[in-house]
Structure 1
Amino acid sequence: MKDALERRALLLHLGCALQLLTRVFESRTTAATVGELIALNPLLENEHLLEHVLPSLSVDDFVAQALQAFCTWPQRLLDETLDHDALATSVRNHLFELNPGGWHAYAADLRGEVAWFGRKQTARRRSQHREPGRASAPGQADATVSAAAIPPVTAQDIERDEGMVERISESIEGLAPPNTTERGNEQSLPEFE
């Protein structure tokens, strides 16, 4: 029962974060930083997430980093066992990497509903540190794949390949056994004279 309540609390928190991002998009703000955004929109002052990020963080970076921080949460919340560390680490690494004090305050606030959030975390850090003021694209570090990991593909001409063994054709009606035109799931009707 406790697990279900924790998942619910985290799901509600995710929903609040998404609503906040929607409000930022819809406000079409001219603010350059999170501090200016809060000053222009006093209703955002009490937003759990905004009150702990650096006020000097650009609005564009905040939006990009928040999306990256929470994009894995829906799948993680559906997993059979919650990966406590992964849920907290994604938020810490994307939104609070340069603001450990803000991270501790944010995690402490969320621990009011989810007791374990941000308590026990491994020392894993992102291998690539983000420069302040620049949002990185999602999956940018994962985009490099070594050429040795991709198996070679040999090209074949299927129209002129007489050396191939019997082919089995397939369509939405089913499979046709080799050398026949009748489909496997068709019924034969008696011929009438």
Structure 2
Amino acid sequence: MSARYGAHDLGFVESCATSHAPVRLTVDDRFDRRELLLHLGDVLEAASGVAKIDRPDEPVSRVALSDSSLQAFPFLRNVATTVLAKDFPQRVASAYGHWPRALLDAELDHAALALPVRRELFDRGADGWDAYVGYMRQKVVWFGVELPDTSTSDTKTVGPSTPAPVQERSPLGKTGWPWTPLG
């Protein structure tokens, strides 16, 4: 159990004495959602900062190392060297554009959050991706874990191009995270 979760944040489904069903632990992921939303804000701020720097044909990772205004965003140093400053804002939009909707889904799709980021910003660069995952896992322990290998899976089917399922709105209003209707 992570130290960041208190006993009140965990829900337990206990097995009945007459049942041999395993005990299942469900973690309240609202803190992970918050951390991912905060990271999204940092990424958008970083993209804005990169766009303001007049070095469009330099790799983002090099610009991040040499420009003091980008030092607050250590994840930029891990972006693939093939990602140029002029392309970075569009790549960020493609990698993270679906996050707000995905973070409101009842169940977080971990792969759908991570795969577009890996595809758009790391170009299968294992070292940069591993460093980014290490950075992200300081706050969200499951980020980037157990992803399919990009050489054997079609990551284009996961992420921004995949439409979110339409969910019926609750006539009773917002009843709780993620605002599921009562009854």
Q: TM-score, normalised by structure 2?
A: 0.62
Match of 2:45 among 4, 14, 19: 19
Structure with bigger gyration radius = 1
CA offset digits 1:157-181 (Å, max 9, x no partner):
xxxxxxxxxxxxxxxxxxxxxxxxx
- In the TM superposition, residue 40 of structure 1 has moved relative to its aligned partner by 5.0
- In the TM superposition, residue 28 of structure 1 has moved relative to its aligned partner by 4.4
Match of 2:154 among 114, 125, 147: 125
Question: CA RMSD, aligned part only?
Answer: 2.4
Alignment of 1:23-62 (within 5 A): 23-25=49-51, 27-33=52-58, 34-38=60-64, 40-62=66-88
Matched, 1:87 2:113: yes
Runs of 4+ in 1 over 4 A off after TM superposition: none
| Structure 2 residue identity aligned to 1:79 | D
Secondary structure in 2 aligned to 1:50?
helix
CA offset digits 1:79-109 (Å, max 9, x no partner):
0110011101111111112311100110111
Of stretches 52-61 and 3-12 in structure 1, the one that deviates more from structure 2 is: 52-61
Matched, 1:71 2:97: yes
- In the TM superposition, residue 47 of structure 1 has moved relative to its aligned partner by 1.2
CA offset digits 1:50-82 (Å, max 9, x no partner):
111134531122222111100010110010110
- In the TM superposition, residue 127 of structure 1 has moved relative to its aligned partner by 6.1
- Quote the Cα distance in structure 1 between the aligned partners of 2:110 and 2:74: 20
> 1:52·1:103 contact (CA, 8 Å) conserved in 2?
yes
- In the TM superposition, residue 32 of structure 1 has moved relative to its aligned partner by 1.8
- Quote the Cα distance in structure 1 between the aligned partners of 2:147 and 2:132: 15
- Quote the Cα distance in structure 2 between the aligned partners of 1:127 and 1:71: 14
- Quote the Cα distance in structure 2 between the aligned partners of 1:48 and 1:82: 25
- Quote the Cα distance in structure 2 between the aligned partners of 1:84 and 1:127: 15
| Number of positions where the alignment pairs a residue of Structure 1 with one of Structure 2 | 130
Matched, 1:6 2:35: no
Q: TM-score, normalised by structure 1?
A: 0.59
